[in-house]
Amino acid sequence: MNAVIMAGGKGSRFWPRSTDAKPKQFLELTASGETMLQLTYRRLRSWLPKENIYVSTSRKYAALVKEQLRELAADRLIEEPEQRDTAPGIALAALYFLNRGSDEAFVAIPSDQHIPDADALGEALRLCGEVAREERAIATLGIVPSRPETGYGYIEAEPKPYRDDVFRVMSFIEKPDASTAQSLIRRSNIYWNSGIFTWRPSTIAYYMALHQPQMWAALTGAGEHLETVYASLPKISVDYAILEKADRIFMIPARFEWDDVGNWTALERIRGADRYGNIMEGNVEAVDSTGNIVFSDAPKTVLIGVSDLIVVSTPAGILICRKTMDQRIKSVMEKREEDADGS
């Protein structure tokens, strides 16, 4: 099978470390010494030949990808003319393979997830690959939930397996509120949506032609005008475009450690804190302060008598935020962009 690392996002929840010029997938966030993209590539590379690993990213990030993944050949970099959303990106990847006469199943995997056990991931994705070879079948990994998480989408699977450890997906559930999340995780057939999907290019083509015919027709007919055509495509996620409408989606439960690394507080589950619960990087001193997340490029940052804050200082800006409010960072940044575009 092939793997396509999706590396075109903005990562605005990690502002101001993550910026439009260098978003979070190109940053070292987990104290591993490698960027999120490098970790994802190495995880796949441990069980897949390099010839089977591709990266999909916006054209403006192509140089960053080449810089961080030296062994990635030019023909394994799928460049989107500009940032849209996951539906155009997945469709472009499918078209990339089909134009080269390949209909081998491929996994589309985000570039910013924390999965320490590469072998367990490989085993689960090989099973996904087997399922995805069936006609019009889509396979995904469902994560067994460990807490009532409001920042993830959920999957409702049929209680009884389709075969072996493979379950049919009944529905996708949007990010819930706290009380809904509490009730969801009590059910044995509920999983977190990993955002990792396996499918054949022809399967994507089938569902795109069926549910997004204008987008698919525009892409397949673009020819030398891809840049102009791509700019006109709607910004729509692959979840809304086809996944919620497809009739043959299967899920394999993933029981290994997994984290979305979607916001600053995710680092508390990945990085070690000091004895006062602080996670600190840079020249930082914390006095009578507990449970803070602090990243600072400043010559010196001092916290005195504060708790449960996110404090980030970079040349791009300064963020001071209660940890309970970190889900709002993205909406605030999007509002700033809208205001800037309208001025």
Which residue type, as a one-letter code, is found at position 170? M
| Residue 243 falls inside a structural domain | yes
Question: pLDDT by residue (tens digit) across 64-121?
Answer: 999 999 999 999 999 999 989 999 999 999 999 999 999 999 999 999 999 999 999 9
Could you tell me if 230 and 292 lie in one domain? no
Could you tell me if 161 and 296 lie in one domain? no
Report the C-alpha gap between 313 and 118 in whole angstroms.
33
The DSSP secondary-structure symbol of 145 reads P
Distances (CA, A) of 136 to 162, 195, 198, 304: 16, 19, 11, 58
Could you tell me if 130 and 277 lie in one domain? no
Where residue 258 sits, what CATH number does that domain have? Answer: 3.90.550.10
Could you tell me if 317 and 217 lie in one domain? no
* The last residue of a domain, from among 243, 263, 283: 263
Could you tell me if 322 and 192 lie in one domain? no
Q: How many domains, the chain?
A: 2
| Residue 333 falls inside a structural domain | no
| Residue 337 falls inside a structural domain | no
Residue 11 token pair: 């990562």
User: Which residues, 6 or more positions from 15, have their beta carbon under 8 angstroms from its beta carbon?
Assistant: 312, 316, 317, 319, 329, 333
Could you tell me if 94 and 172 lie in one domain? yes
| Residue 341 falls inside a structural domain | no
Contact criterion met (CB below 8 Å) for 306 and 285: no
| Predicted pLDDT at 310 | 98
Please report the beta strands in the chain, taking only residues with DSSP state E, as ranges in sequence order.
2-6, 53-58, 77-80, 106-110, 138-143, 154-157, 167-173, 190-199, 249-254, 279-281, 284-287, 293-296, 301-304, 309-314, 317-322
- CB neighbourhood size of 316 (10 A): 16
Residue 191's region, left for phi above 0, alpha for psi from -120 to 50, else beta, is beta
For residue 153, give its domain range: 2-263
| Predicted pLDDT at 31 | 87
Backbone phi, psi, residue 120, to 5°? -65, -40
| Residue 85 falls inside a structural domain | yes
The DSSP secondary-structure symbol of 60 reads G
Which residue type, as a one-letter code, is found at position 108? A
Residue 232 token pair: 């006109």
Place of tokens 């729509």: 236
| Predicted pLDDT at 343 | 57
| Residue 342 falls inside a structural domain | no
Could you tell me if 276 and 221 lie in one domain? no
Enumerate residue ranges in the chain where pLDDT < 50.
none
Could you tell me if 186 and 108 lie in one domain? yes
Place of tokens 């997938």: 25
Could you tell me if 90 and 183 lie in one domain? yes
* The last residue of a domain, from among 263, 289, 312: 263
Could you tell me if 300 and 218 lie in one domain? no
Question: pLDDT by residue (tens digit) across 272-297?
Answer: 899 999 999 999 999 999 999 999 99
Could you tell me if 192 and 318 lie in one domain? no
| Residue 225 falls inside a structural domain | yes
Could you tell me if 53 and 164 lie in one domain? yes
* The last residue of a domain, from among 244, 263, 282: 263
Instruction: Indicate the pairing of strand 167-173 with strand 138-143.
Output: unpaired
| Residue 340 falls inside a structural domain | no
| Predicted pLDDT at 93 | 97
Backbone phi, psi, residue 207, to 5°? -70, -35
